[in-house]
C-alpha cells in the first residue's frame, strides 16, 4: 500500500509539473503571438499613414494637372482670338490702303481736302476716314457671311477697327455712334456707290449753323451730307440716293 501511494503521489507531481510547463509554454506562445500582432499592427498603421499621404499627394497632383490643363485651354483660346484679330487687322489695313488709292465718288458734296484745316474741318475729315474704315469692316464681314451684313455693329472686327483706325490716334470715334441702314445681302446691291450701309446716328452742327452727317456707302467710301436743319436729312438722303433700300433697324 505505501508503495502504491508513493507511485500515485509521484504521478500526481509529474502531472502537475507537466501542466505548469504546458501553461508556461502556452503563455510564451501567446506573448509571441501578441508581439507579432503588435508588430503587424504597427506596420499596418504605417502602411495606412503612407497610403493616406500618397493619396493626398495624388489628389494634389491631379488638382495641379487639372489647373494646368484649364490654363492651357485658356491660353489656346486666347491665342486663337489674338490670331484672328491679327488676321483681321492685316486684312483691314490692306483693304483700307487699297480704298485709299481708289478715286472718291463724284457725288461727294464736300471736298475735305480743299477745306481750310480748321479744327472743325479736321474733325470732319477724320470722321470721314473712320466712316470709310467702318464701311471696309462691314464689307469684310459680309464677304465672310455669304454677303450678309451683321445684325448689329458689335463684335471683334469692330473692336479691331476702333483699335487700329488712324483717325483714333487723335480722336475717339466709336462704332456705336453709327447705325445700320441697309438690311440684306450686299449681293443684291445694284449700285454700290449709291447705297447707304450705315450713317452717323446724330448729325453735327457746324459753326455756321448748318448741320452735317457722315454716311457709309456700300463701295467702302464715306460722304458728308449737309442740311439746313437737324431734321432735314431725310429729304437730302432722298435727293442723293433716290433708290436707297430703306430698312433702318431699330
* 152 plus 55 within the same structural domain: no
Residue 80 lies in a domain: yes
Name the one residue in this structure whose C-alpha cell is 448741320.
211
* 197 plus 232 within the same structural domain: yes
* 23 plus 114 within the same structural domain: no
pLDDT in tens, 47-86: 777 788 877 887 787 777 777 777 767 756 655 655 555 5
Cell of 9: 503521489
For 243, the 3-state DSSP assignment is: coil
Residue 196 lies in a domain: yes
| Single pTM value for the model | 0.55
What pLDDT is attached to residue 105? 44
At residue 215's C-alpha, the angle toward residues 187 and 165, to 5°, is 90
> Is the CB of residue 153 less than 8 Å from the CB of residue 176?
yes
- Of the three residues 73, 101, 129, the one that is the final residue of a domain is 101
* 223 plus 119 within the same structural domain: yes
What pLDDT is attached to residue 4? 58
When divided into structural domains, the chain yields a total of 2
Q: What is the chain's pLDDT, residue by residue, as a tens digit (250 residues)?
A: 565 556 666 666 666 666 667 777 777 777 777 777 777 777 777 777 778 887 788 778 777 777 777 776 775 665 565 555 555 556 656 655 655 555 444 444 444 445 557 888 899 999 999 999 999 888 888 888 888 888 888 888 888 888 888 888 888 899 999 999 887 788 888 888 888 899 999 999 999 999 999 999 988 889 999 999 999 988 888 888 876 655 444 4
Residue 250 lies in a domain: no
- Of the three residues 46, 73, 101, the one that is the final residue of a domain is 101
- Determine the Cα–Cα distance for residues 70 and 67; give it in Å rounded to an integer: 5
Contacts of 124 (CB under 8 A, 6+ apart): 110, 112, 115, 204, 212, 214, 224
> Is the CB of residue 166 less than 8 Å from the CB of residue 139?
no
* 236 plus 114 within the same structural domain: yes
Residue 245 lies in a domain: no
Q: Report in angstroms the alpha-carbon separations of 239 from 31, 178, 181, 213, 215.
A: 115, 21, 16, 14, 14
* 205 plus 116 within the same structural domain: yes
* 126 plus 95 within the same structural domain: no
* 116 plus 96 within the same structural domain: no
Range(s) of the domain holding residue 80? 1-101
Exposed/middle/buried for residue 117 (C-beta within 10 Å: 0-12, 13-18, 19+): exposed
- Of the three residues 50, 70, 101, the one that is the final residue of a domain is 101
* 81 plus 28 within the same structural domain: yes
> Is the CB of residue 193 less than 8 Å from the CB of residue 107?
yes
What pLDDT is attached to residue 151? 85
What pLDDT is attached to residue 88? 57
- Determine the Cα–Cα distance for residues 124 and 213; give it in Å rounded to an integer: 9
What pLDDT is attached to residue 86? 56
Residue 66 lies in a domain: yes
Amino acid at each position: 500500500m505505501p508503495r502504491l501511494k508513493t507511485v500515485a503521489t509521484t504521478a500526481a507531481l509529474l502531472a502537475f509539473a507537466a501542466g505548469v510547463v504546458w501553461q508556461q509554454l502556452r503563455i510564451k506562445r501567446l506573448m509571441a503571438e501578441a508581439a507579432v500582432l503588435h508588430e503587424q499592427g504597427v506596420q499596418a498603421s504605417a502602411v495606412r499613414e503612407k497610403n493616406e499621404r500618397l493619396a493626398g499627394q495624388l489628389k494634389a497632383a491631379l488638382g495641379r494637372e487639372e489647373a494646368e490643363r484649364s490654363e492651357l485651354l485658356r491660353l489656346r483660346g486666347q491665342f486663337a482670338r489674338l490670331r484672328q484679330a491679327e488676321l483681321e487687322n492685316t486684312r483691314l489695313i490692306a483693304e483700307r490702303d487699297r480704298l485709299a488709292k481708289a478715286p472718291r465718288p463724284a457725288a461727294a458734296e464736300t471736298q475735305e481736302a480743299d477745306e481750310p484745316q480748321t479744327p472743325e474741318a479736321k474733325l470732319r475729315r477724320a470722321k470721314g476716314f473712320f466712316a470709310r474704315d467702318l464701311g471696309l469692316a462691314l464689307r469684310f464681314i459680309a464677304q465672310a457671311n455669304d454677303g450678309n451684313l451683321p445684325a448689329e455693329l458689335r463684335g471683334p472686327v469692330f473692336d479691331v477697327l476702333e483699335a487700329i483706325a488712324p483717325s483714333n490716334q487723335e480722336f475717339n470715334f466709336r462704332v456705336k455712334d453709327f447705325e445700320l441702314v441697309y438690311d440684306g445681302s450686299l449681293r443684291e446691291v445694284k449700285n454700290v456707290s449709291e447705297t447707304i450701309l450705315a450713317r452717323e446716328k446724330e448729325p453735327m452742327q457746324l459753326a455756321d449753323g448748318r448741320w452735317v452727317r457722315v454716311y457709309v456707302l456700300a463701295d467702302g467710301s464715306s460722304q458728308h451730307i449737309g442740311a439746313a436743319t437737324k431734321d432735314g436729312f431725310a429729304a437730302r438722303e432722298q435727293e442723293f440716293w433716290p433708290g436707297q433700300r430703306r430698312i433702318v433697324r431699330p
